[in-house]
Structure 1
């Protein structure tokens, strides 16, 4: 059971509104950071450095997402889609050649 609010070290709540797109972007950054949401928000709001912790598990997850994006972009018709396709290919190559931890 959670402790009482007055017994908590951090007892103050801050809330704010985000669009669906902003929420998706923030959640992606949180996932890639490898830290909890609370820790990510505190560091980001207080201007502290947020470091990405990418172990083997995270690399596999990133690769799967990139492969899904790659499959979606294979028939890229616009210049933006073609540029994004090249970027995803480069990211997959970098991820494949990254040292395992």
Structure 2
């Protein structure tokens, strides 16, 4: 059972509205960041840097995201089309900004 609000370290809730496109962009960044939604939002709101670092850990994250995309595509889940598109964009951006030794496979 969750603890009482007054027993929490963080007791305050902040809510805001996003467009579908903005929500997809934020969710894609959260998935690739590897941090919880709460941590991601706190860092973003407080102006702290949230980075996605390329390397072995990032390769594992990318593989998991690609698996999620594949499952959604195989299931014909078009409701999350915006999120899937944004994830692919973010993956390409991560690859583009990766150090030279960590760049992906090129045809």
TM-score of the alignment, normalized to the shorter chain, above 0.5: yes
Check 1:54–1:37 CA distance in 2 against 1; reply closer, same or farther (3 A cut).
farther
Provide the C-alpha distance between the structure 1 equivalents of 2:77 and 2:33, rounded to a whole number of angstroms. Answer: 32
Check 1:9–1:54 CA distance in 2 against 1; reply closer, same or farther (3 A cut).
farther
5+ residue gaps, structure 2, are 101-106
Q: How many residues align?
A: 101
Q: Indicate the structure whose relative CO is greater, using CA pairs within 8 Å and at least 6 residues apart.
A: 2
Q: Name the TM-score, length of structure 1 as normaliser.
A: 0.58
Structure 2 SS opposite 1:88: helix
For the pair shown, the structure with the greater C-alpha radius of gyration is: 1
5+ residue gaps, structure 1, are none
Check 1:91–1:35 CA distance in 2 against 1; reply closer, same or farther (3 A cut).
closer
